[in-house]
A and B are shown apart, each in its own frame.
Chain A
Amino acid sequence: DAKTTQPPSMDCAEGRAANLPCNHSTISGNEYVYWYRQIHSQGPQYIIHGLKNNETNEMASLIITEDRKSSTLILPHATLRDTAVYYCIVRHQTGANNLFFGTGTRLTVIP
Chain B
Amino acid sequence: DAGVTQSPTHLIKTRGQQVTLRCSPKSGHDTVSWYQQALGQGPQFIFQYYEEEERQRGNFPDRFSGHQFPNYSSELNVNALLLGDSALYLCASSRAGQGADTQYFGPGTRLTVL
- Which residues in A have some Cβ–Cβ distance to B below 8 Å? 32, 34, 36, 41-46, 49, 51, 87, 93-94, 96-104
Contacts and interface: CB of A to CB of B under 8 A. Distances in A.
A11 to B, nearest CB: 20
Interface of B: 4, 33, 35, 41-45, 48, 50, 55-56, 58, 88, 90, 92, 97, 99-108, 110
Contact of B108 (A43, A49, A93, A94): A43
Determine which residue in A49, A87, A97, A102 has the highest number of CB atoms from chain B within 10 A of its CB, and name it.
A97
A42 B108 contact: yes
Contact of B105 (A43, A100, A103): A43
A49 B100 contact: yes
Given A43-B90, A43-B108, A46-B104, A94 B99 contact: yes
